[in-house]
Structure 1
Amino acid sequence: MKAIIPVAGAGTKLRPHTYTQPKALIPLAGRTILSIIIDQLVEAGIQEFVFVVGYLGEKIQRYVEQKYPDLTCHFVQQNSREGTGHAILLTRDIVQNDEILIVLGDTICEGDFSELINSPVSLLGLKKVDDPRNFGVAEMDDQGHISRVVEKPQIPKSNMALVGVYKIKETEQLYDCLQSNIDQQIKSHDEFQLTDALECMIQHNVQFKPFKVSNWFDCGRKDTLLETNAILLKKYKLAANPVLPYEGTIIIPPVSIGEGCNIKHSIIGPNVAIGDNSVISYSIVKDSIIGSFTNLYEVVLKSSLIGSDANIRGLSQSLNIGDNTEIDLG
């Protein structure tokens, strides 16, 4: 079985960070979004991955090759962003007729992935949501099968959202439906959607059952990314990443502090993740994500997302600052 992870999106909702960093590589609870996904799949037994890259794709490839040298990895370039359906179709020659597991590169789900991989039938990951209009939506029949899927319906007939995890056994039918939709220019919301290809398969009598995830973390916007960071910091407890004593500094768990950081006369936490080699002095930081090689001096930050190589002096409350930024608030 091969795992396909589409990571070609530009991450427009997380700008300015995604001008210089792929969304999948944004730090989260001492790791990255992509590493959390890969580690989860490797633990379940997956050893071969196909990454669909585009915007800043060379950073994705370099990161994966350096961090996971023992995995078999393929990289497919999506030069034009035409949707998830188009992205998956580009992997056809690599996948051939193997079973596949598709996991979208901006979503973290928790569930029994071993059960998912070993299922004798195709499965779609589902989670009940309050407002499903911004997601693909699955409708169920009386036998517990998925009878219909629709991408971002204005009037949903179900509150079961597709969470971005798909186990597909009938790969030939999937690729045929993807190609057919592109040939016929069948789009939803101006893009070729994977959801539409799944609906095509359902109409051709392919059966899908639900795979209900226990948790689903949305990493596509600043607010939800910070919430996810706080949840995962508590979950991981970072036993393998002990917090060192820092001069005149109070650490309020949970926090994750990267290697080579210099912190003094500050209060850090709760719910803070700091990248490698950052310097923080005379500052208060809570409920925030701080990138690598960043310098904070005399600042008060809460609910902030700070990129790498940023230099901030002065006083602030809530910031959304990208990489390679210098700000003086004094």
Structure 2
Amino acid sequence: MKIIVPMAGRGSRLRPHTLTVPKPLIPVAGQPIVHRLVKDIAKVLDQPIEEIAFILGDPAFFGNDVVTSLKELATSLGAKAAIYRQYQPLGTGHAIMCAKDSLSGPAVIAYADTLIRADFNLDPTADAVIWVKQVDQPEAYGVVKLNAQMEIVELVEKPKDFISDLAVIGIYYFKDVNVLKQELQYVLDNNIIHGGEYQINDGIKGMMAKGKVFKTGEVAEWMDCGNKAVTVETNTRMLGFIKADGDENMVAPSVKLENSTIIEPCFIGENVILKNATIGPNVSIGNNCNISESTIKNSLIQTHSTIKNANFDEAMIGNHVQYDGKFKTVSIGDYSVLE
């Protein structure tokens, strides 16, 4: 089994946090988004992962540190890493074809901007599976249309009239991903463009037209990391899941407490100092932070930041931030100073 991860986007909706760090590398509940996504997929696939292919953007932004991190992730799962580049933002189908040398055999394709909780039971009668989630406002999503046999027969983007309430979440399984590769090559060769881009949906529609059977897989939870508000919410939800699972150490043993209280669930990284602080619930703090005279809940703080006199709720703080103030709901990017 292979996992293909297109992650070349800059994450503009999550600025300022993505001005210096690619969105898939933003930590949620103590781990980068892409690390959590790939680990969760590998865990529920219940079969060996041969290769993980990552499609990155320009090396000027997705540099050597990103490549090293992703190679270490693949190695930790017993897989080899393949690194590809998408130098122009030409769509989801184009991104996948940037990894065409890895497009063979069974594979999961997962876009690295969401987190999930799911049971990946692969239907042996299906040529492909598209994971979906029931939503309240299907007109805001791409949805699937099913026939009487519960097979996917159509993909509809943001339907004005009701088609179904099963939204496509951006995770796919292909029994032989080479079939998708052939269809996407046809899309590229014939310049089939929607919204100015080459789309994975056009490759999937080509497969359907040739009789390939698509089934749905459903996720219990689908958590977005598209902007600051939903990323903070996703951090809260992931902390709850991790605490319930009980399989991760959520507070590092090197944390130093001085007249401070931690209200679970929280993730607190290595070498964090807490002085006269109340932390939690639902707070993630990265390594080497120093927090004093503060009350923080429902917030996400990255690494090497110094926080004083804060009363945070639903805040998102970047790396190497220095903060001393009275604001409550804030979003502060890397290397900012507010005193």
TM-score normalised by the chain length of structure 2: 0.90
Question: Structure 1 residue 278 and structure 2 residue 293: aligned?
Answer: no
The one-letter code sitting in structure 1 at the alignment partner of 2:238 is L
Alpha-carbon distance change, 288 to 87 in structure 1, aligned in 2, over 3 angstroms? same
The letter for the 2-side match of 1:260 is N
Taking the aligned partners of 1:208 and 1:27, their CA distance within structure 2 comes to 33
Which of 71, 80, 88 is equivalent to 2:96?
A: 88
Once the two structures are superposed, residues 17-46 of structure 1 have per-residue CA deviations (whole angstroms, 9 ceiling, x without a partner) of 111111111111122211111212332332
> Shift of the alpha carbon at 1:5?
0.6
Question: Hey, what's the Cα distance between the residues in 2 that align with 1:52 and 1:62?
Answer: 14
Shift of the 147–119 alpha-carbon distance from structure 1 to 2, 3 Å rule, reads: closer
CA distance in 1, matches of 2:142, 2:176: 20
Deviations 1:20-75 (A, max 9, x none): 11111111112221111121233233241000001532243121224443530000
Please show how residues 170-181 of structure 1 align to structure 2 within 5 Å. Answer: 170-181=176-187
1:11 aligns with 2:11: yes
Given that residues 14 and 23 in structure 1 are in contact (C-alpha distance below 8 angstroms), is that contact kept between their aligned partners in structure 2? yes
In the TM superposition, what are the counterparts of 1:21-100 in structure 2 within 5 Å? Answer: 21-43=21-43, 44-45=46-47, 46-55=49-58, 56-58=61-63, 59-69=65-75, 70-95=78-103, 97-100=104-107
Sequence identity, in percent? 33
Cα separation, 1, equivalents of 2:11 and 2:84: 18
Distance 1:196 1:151, change over 3 A: farther
CA deviations on 1:80-103 (whole Å, 9 max, x unpaired) are: 0111110011111222x3121101
Q: Distance in 1 between matches of 2:57 and 2:31?
A: 22
Alignment partners' CA distance in 2, 1:301 and 1:190 = 41
Using a 3 Å threshold, how does the CA distance of structure 1 residues 256 and 119 change in structure 2: closer, same or farther?
farther
Q: Where do residues 106-125 of structure 1 align in structure 2 (5 Å cutoff)?
A: 106-113=113-120, 115-116=121-122, 121-125=127-131
Q: Deviations over 1:182-227 (max 9, x none)?
A: 2333223222111222122112211101111111111112111111
The separation in 2 between residues aligned to 1:142 and 1:119, in whole angstroms, is 16
Give the counterpart letter for 2:153 in structure 1: S
The one-letter code of the counterpart of 1:81 is: P
One of 265, 269, 275 as aligned partner of 2:280:
269
CA distance, structure 1, for counterparts of residue 297 and residue 216 of structure 2: 38
- 1:122-141 pair list within 5 angstroms: 122-141=128-147
Is there any run of 5+ residues in structure 2 with no aligned partner, and where? none
Which has the larger displacement, 219-228 or 171-180? Answer: 171-180
Query: Is 1:252 aligned to residue 257 of structure 2?
Result: no
Q: Which amino acid aligns with 1:149?
A: L
TM-score by length of structure 1 reads 0.93
Please list the CA deviations of residues 90-134 of structure 1 after superposition, one character each: whole Å capped at 9, or x if unmatched: 111222x31211011111122223x23977531110111112234
CA change 1:60–1:309 in 2 (3 A) is same
Give the Cα–Cα distance (whole angstroms) in 2 for the partners of residues 269 and 176 of structure 1.
Answer: 50
Greater than 4 Å deviation, 4+ residue runs: 117-120
For residues 119 and 216 of structure 1, do their structure 2 counterparts lie closer, same or farther at Cα, with a shift above 3 Å needed? farther
For the pair 1:307 / 2:318, whether they are aligned, the reply is yes
Distance across 1 between alignment mates of 2:242 and 2:159:
36
Once residues 94 and 254 of structure 1 are traced to their aligned partners in structure 2, the CA distance between those partners, rounded to angstroms, is 39
Matches of 1:10 and 1:215 in 2, distance apart?
25
Find the aligned partners of 2:183 and 2:100 in 1 and give their Cα distance.
12
Match of 1:220 among 219, 226, 232: 226
Q: Which residue in 2 is equivalent to 1:231?
A: 237
How far residue 258 of structure 1 moved from its aligned partner, in angstroms, is 0.5
1:160 and 2:160 aligned: no
Q: CA RMSD in A?
A: 1.9
What's the CA shift string for 1:145-190, capped at 9, x where partnerless? Answer: 0010123344452211111111112433311221222233322322
Shift of 1:136: 2.1
Q: Look up the SS of the partner of 2:257 in the other structure.
A: coil
1:322 aligns with 2:317: no
Give the secondary structure class of the aligned counterpart of 2:122.
Answer: helix
Give the aligned residue type for 1:319: V
Shift of 1:327: 1.4
Cα distance in 2 for residues equivalent to 1:249 and 1:217? 31
**Structure 1 residue runs without a partner (length 5+):** none
